[in-house]
C-alpha cells in the first residue's frame, strides 16, 4: 500500500484531499501535515497528523522516515495575492519548500511526488483564450515565477534522476469546506458566502474579468486521477493544463441570481485586478484528457446550486 504524506494539508485543497485519500488508501497510510497545529485539528481526529514547516528539511526528512513515506503531495504554498504583498515569503515557501520535497524524495528513492502548478504560470504575453499546453510562460507575479520554476524543477527531476514528479496547473478552485487563503481567484468563493449571508457582494475584480475555475469535486478528481495515472502513459509531467469551466464575474453573479433573485453585486477593483488581467480566460487541457483521461463533471449552474445549498446549511446551523 502507498504511504502518502500530504504537506499543507489544512489548506483549501489539502483539507478535502486528505479525507479522500484516507477513504481510498486507509487512514493509517495517509499522514497529514501542516504548519498550523490548530488548523490540523480536524485532520488529526481521523488519522495521522504532524506539525511541519516545509522549509525545515530535517523535520520533513524525519517525518518521511518515521512513516516510511513513498509518495508526497506538496500543497504548501503562498498564493498570488499574498505573494505580491510578501514576495520573499512566497519564494521561500514555494521554492525552498519544493526543493526540500524533491531532494528528500530523491534521496529516499520515493515512488512519486505530486506538486501543484497554477494558471499563474502564464502571463500577459500568453494567448488568453484556450491557452495551449505549450506556450509562453512569462508570469509577472512572484507566485507565477515560483510556479514556472517548480514545473521546470519537477521535469528536471524526472529527466535527471528518474523521480516520478507530476503536477497540474490548477485554475481558481471553488469549494465550501475550507476557505481559500490569499489568492486572486478567492472572489469566486467569497461571493457565494456573501450571497447567503448578506445578499450582496463587492467584488475586487471587474465584472468582465474572466478566469478558468473548477469546483472542488472536480479538483479532487483531477488530482487523484493524475496521482493514480500510469507513469508510462505520461508525456508531460509537472505542468498539465486542466480546464473545467470559465466565466466572467457577471456570469457568476447571474448564475447566483437564478437561485437568489435579490442578490446584488458591485465592483471595487484593487491590486488583484492587475494579477487577474495577466491570466488566461480559458485553457486547452487536451493533453490531460489524452494522457490520463481527464474529464470534468460540473458546469457553472450545477456548481452554484451545490455551493448555495451547502453554505445555506452551514448558515442555518450557525457555523458561519
Ligand atoms: C490564486 O488565485 O493565487 C490561486 C491560483 C489560481 O493558483 N487560486
Would 261 be classed as within a structural domain? yes
Q: Is 184 in the pocket of ligand 1 (CB under 6 A)?
A: yes
Gap from CA of 32 to ligand 1 centroid (Å): 22
Does 119 share its domain with 191?
Answer: no
- pLDDT for residue 39 is more than 80: no
Does 252 share its domain with 163?
Answer: no
In the set 143, 157, 187, 201, the catalytic residue is: 143
DSSP 32: E
Q: Report d(CA 221, CA 37) in Å as an integer.
A: 27
CATH number of the domain where residue 22 is located: 3.40.50.720
What pLDDT score was predicted for residue 274?
Answer: 98
Would 291 be classed as within a structural domain? no
Gap from CA of 1 to ligand 1 centroid (Å): 32
What pLDDT score was predicted for residue 310?
Answer: 97
Q: Is 313 left (phi over 0), alpha (psi -120 to 50) or beta?
A: alpha
Does 54 share its domain with 190?
Answer: no
Q: Is 193 in the active site?
A: no
Q: What are phi and psi of 253, to 5 degrees?
A: -65, -40
Q: Is 13 in the pocket of ligand 1 (CB under 6 A)?
A: no
Ligand 1 atom closest to Cα of residue 185: 2
Would 111 be classed as within a structural domain? yes
First to last CA, the chain: 38
Does 222 share its domain with 139?
Answer: yes
Gap from CA of 186 to ligand 1 centroid (Å): 8
Mean pLDDT of the chain: 97
- Average pLDDT on 296-304 reads 96
Does 115 share its domain with 195?
Answer: no
Ligand 1 atom closest to Cα of residue 143: 3
Ligand 1 atom closest to Cα of residue 119: 6
Does 276 share its domain with 228?
Answer: no
What pLDDT score was predicted for residue 47?
Answer: 94
Does 136 share its domain with 265?
Answer: no
Buried b (16+ CB within 10 A) or exposed e, 168-207: bbbbbbbbbebebebbbbbbbbebbbbbbeeeebebbbeb
Does 38 share its domain with 153?
Answer: yes
Give residue-wise pLDDT tens across range 171-189: 999 999 999 989 999 999 9
In the chain the beta strands, taken as DSSP E runs, fall at 4-7, 30-34, 48-51, 71-74, 112-114, 117-118, 165-166, 168-170, 172-174, 200-203, 210-215, 240-241, 245-248, 264-267
Would 236 be classed as within a structural domain? yes
Q: Report d(CA 237, CA 8) in Å as an integer.
A: 21
Q: Report d(CA 214, CA 173) in Å as an integer.
A: 5
Q: How many domains does the chain have?
A: 2
Which domain, by its residues, includes 303?
A: 172-214+245-282+299-316
- pLDDT for residue 250 is more than 80: yes
Atom 7 of ligand 1, residue of closest alpha carbon = 118
Gap from CA of 273 to ligand 1 centroid (Å): 13
- pLDDT for residue 206 is more than 90: yes
Short-list 17, 11, 22, 31, CA closest to 79: 11
Does 179 share its domain with 60?
Answer: no
Contacts of residue 267, Cβ cutoff 8 Å, sequence gap at least 6: 202, 203, 205, 206, 207, 249
Bridge-partner residues for 49, per DSSP? 32
Of 118, 119, 216, best ligand 1 pocket probe by most atoms within 8 Å of the beta carbon: 118
Gap from CA of 184 to ligand 1 centroid (Å): 6
Q: Is 182 in the pocket of ligand 1 (CB under 6 A)?
A: no
3-class secondary structure, 170: strand
From the number of C-beta atoms within 10 Å of its C-beta (0-12, 13-18, 19+), residue 297 rates as exposed
CATH number of the domain where residue 278 is located: 3.90.25
- pTM confidence score: 0.96
What pLDDT score was predicted for residue 191?
Answer: 98
Does 210 share its domain with 200?
Answer: yes
Q: Report d(CA 221, CA 218) in Å as an integer.
A: 5
Cα 3 from chain centroid (whole Å) = 22
Does 76 share its domain with 132?
Answer: yes
**279 touches 184 (CB < 8 A):** yes
Which pLDDT band holds residue 38 (cuts at 50, 70, 90)? confident
What pLDDT score was predicted for residue 166?
Answer: 98
Would 289 be classed as within a structural domain? no
| 3-state class percentages of the chain: helix first, strand second, coil last, to nearest 5 | 45, 15, 35
Would 294 be classed as within a structural domain? no
Short-list 66, 184, 173, 64, CA closest to 113: 64
Would 148 be classed as within a structural domain? yes
Give residue-wise pLDDT tens across range 110-143: 999 999 999 999 999 999 999 999 999 999 999 9
Would 287 be classed as within a structural domain? no
Does 235 share its domain with 257?
Answer: no
Ligand 1 atom closest to Cα of residue 83: 3
Amino acid at each position: 500500500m502507498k504511504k502518502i504524506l500530504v504537506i499543507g494539508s489544512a489548506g483549501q485543497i489539502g483539507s478535502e484531499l486528505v479525507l479522500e485519500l484516507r477513504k481510498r488508501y486507509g487512514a493509517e497510510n495517509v499522514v497529514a501535515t501542516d504548519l498550523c497545529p490548530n488548523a490540523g485539528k480536524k485532520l488529526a481526529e481521523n488519522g495521522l497528523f504532524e506539525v511541519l514547516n516545509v522549509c525545515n528539511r530535517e523535520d520533513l526528512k524525519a517525518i518521511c522516515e518515521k512513516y516510511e513515506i513513498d509518495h508526497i503531495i506538496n500543497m504548501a504554498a503562498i498564493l498570488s495575492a499574498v505573494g505580491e504583498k510578501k514576495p520573499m515569503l512566497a519564494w521561500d515557501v514555494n521554492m525552498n519548500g519544493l526543493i526540500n520535497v524533491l531532494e528528500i524524495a530523491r534521496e529516499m528513492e520515493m515512488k512519486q511526488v505530486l506538486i501543484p502548478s497554477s494558471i499563474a504560470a502564464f502571463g500577459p504575453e500568453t494567448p488568453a483564450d484556450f491557452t495551449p499546453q505549450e506556450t509562453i510562460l512569462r508570469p509577472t507575479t512572484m507566485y507565477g515565477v515560483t510556479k514556472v520554476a517548480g514545473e521546470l524543477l519537477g521535469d528536471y527531476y524526472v529527466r535527471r534522476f528518474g523521480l516520478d514528479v507530476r503536477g497540474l496547473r490548477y485554475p481558481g478552485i471553488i469549494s465550501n469546506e475550507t476557505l481559500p487563503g490569499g489568492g486572486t481567484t478567492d472572489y469566486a468563493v467569497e461571493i457565494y458566502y456573501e450571497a447567503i449571508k448578506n445578499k450582496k457582494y463587492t467584488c475586487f475584480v471587474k465584472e468582465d474579468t474572466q478566469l478558468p475555475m473548477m469546483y472542488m469535486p472536480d479538483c479532487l478528481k483531477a488530482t487523484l486521477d493524475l496521482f493514480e495515472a500510469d507513469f508510462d502513459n505520461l508525456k508531460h509531467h509537472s505542468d498539465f493544463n486542466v480546464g473545467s469551466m470559465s466565466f466572467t464575474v457577471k456570469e457568476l453573479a447571474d448564475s447566483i441570481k437564478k437561485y437568489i433573485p435579490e442578490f446584488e453585486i458591485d465592483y471595487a477593483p484593487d491590486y488583484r485586478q492587475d494579477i487577474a488581467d495577466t491570466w488566461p480566460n480559458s485553457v486547452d487541457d487536451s493533453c490531460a484528457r489524452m494522457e490520463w483521461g481527464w474529464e470534468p463533471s460540473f458546469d457553472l449552474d450545477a456548481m452554484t446550486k451545490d455551493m448555495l445549498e451547502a453554505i445555506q446549511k452551514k448558515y442555518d446551523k450557525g457555523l458561519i
